[in-house]
Amino acid sequence: MDKRSSVDQKKPTLEDYIIDMETRPPDSDNNGPTDVWAQLQQKEADLLLAAELGKALLEKNEELKKQQDKMIEEFSTKIEKLEQEKHVLRRQLEVAASESESHCSELQSDIAEMKAKLESQEALVKQCEREKNALIEELTAQNARLSQELQKSNTIEVQLQTQLQEFKDQCNRRNMSIQDHVNSLDSLKSELKVILEKKSELEHRLQISAAEKETLQTLLSEASDRIHTLERGNREQETKYKITIQTLDRLERENGTLSERLESFDSQRSNSDHQSLLHEMGCDDSIDETSAPLLVKEAITVYKQLKNLCQTLKSSHDDDSGNIFA
């Protein structure tokens, strides 16, 4: 029991059993009963150990089976995820393939365009080379022409230096006559002083003329105002004159009418009465109108109106003449 309890307490593992079997010495047939008893105990211990090992192996097997199931489940989950990822990657690969095809077609079109541009650039480079050669030839010709012009300019420079020396000689000769110019300058200053005095006198006269001009402008403005007043009075007199002429025409028409009526009236009366009536109209203005007939009254009224109108016209004409002469 003590051994069993010790065996139970130890609980050797599969590795311990294997190590014990390897380190155990081989059995011999020459041993006595003690060896048999020891072998039986050893066998019993081996059986117990084998039972423990079997139990441990079963537990280990179950644990391994659980781990295997768990691993299978994990692997199946991973496989499913991998399938999904594979499907996604396949879709991405298809999209990438289509994009790569489109990109490839774009690149091909770009390559064709670049080839066309390259050809145009090559043609442009060739044209530039031709233009450069032509420009070099032109510059060479210009260089030769400029060399000739430089030689001419050197000749002209020599001529100009000669002329400059001549001008210097002339300046030296002119410097000798500066004193004469100074003397003439003094005389010019004196003449300028006289001219300035005359200028001041003329400015004074100009101021006087300006004052007289202002006075004349004032008189002119007053005369213009008076002329406007006279023109306005003249227009008023012309208006009155027109009204008087119209009144005179009307009175003349009335006088003609009265004359006709007087002639008809004269045919009814005697010549003596008619002459006395005319004498009264021409000589006596204070005739009694109540004692005369109706036609005579009208004639006397017209005669008085004509007389007053003539006096009015005469007085208006005298007033206009006086205003004009004033």
Q: Which tens digit of pLDDT belongs to each residue from 187-229?
A: 778 888 888 888 888 888 888 888 888 888 888 888 888 888 8
**Does some domain include residue 289?**
no
| Structural domains counted in the chain | 1
Positions of E strands within 116-245: none
**Does some domain include residue 79?**
yes
**Does some domain include residue 81?**
yes
286 secondary structure, DSSP code: S
**Does some domain include residue 299?**
no
Q: Which residue range is the domain that position 84 belongs to?
A: 37-114
Q: 62 vs 65, 138, 153, 234, CA distance in Å? A: 5, 104, 119, 152
The count of other CB atoms within 10 Å of the CB of residue 258 is 20
Mean pLDDT of 218-247: 82
Mean pLDDT of 155-168: 82
Place of tokens 């001529």: 159
Distance of alpha carbon 69 from alpha carbon 61, whole angstroms: 12
Phi then psi for residue 290, to 5 deg, are -75, -25
Q: Which tens digit of pLDDT belongs to each residue from 2-57?
A: 444 444 445 555 566 666 656 665 554 445 556 788 888 888 877 887 788 888 88
Give me 241's structure tokens. 């004159």
Question: Residue 305 pLDDT > 50, yes or no?
Answer: yes
Distance of alpha carbon 146 from alpha carbon 154, whole angstroms: 12
Report pLDDT for 12: 55
**Does some domain include residue 102?**
yes
Distance of alpha carbon 117 from alpha carbon 127, whole angstroms: 15
Q: Which tens digit of pLDDT belongs to each residue from 49-101?
A: 778 888 888 888 888 888 888 888 888 888 888 888 888 888 888 888 888 88
**Does some domain include residue 216?**
no
**Does some domain include residue 97?**
yes
176 secondary structure, DSSP code: T
How many Cα atoms are found within 13 Å in the side-chain-facing hemisphere of 202? 6
Distance of alpha carbon 77 from alpha carbon 69, whole angstroms: 12
**Does some domain include residue 75?**
yes
Distance of alpha carbon 17 from alpha carbon 53, whole angstroms: 8
- Structure confidence at residue 325 as a pLDDT band (50, 70, 90): very low
Indicate whether this model's pTM tops 0.85: no
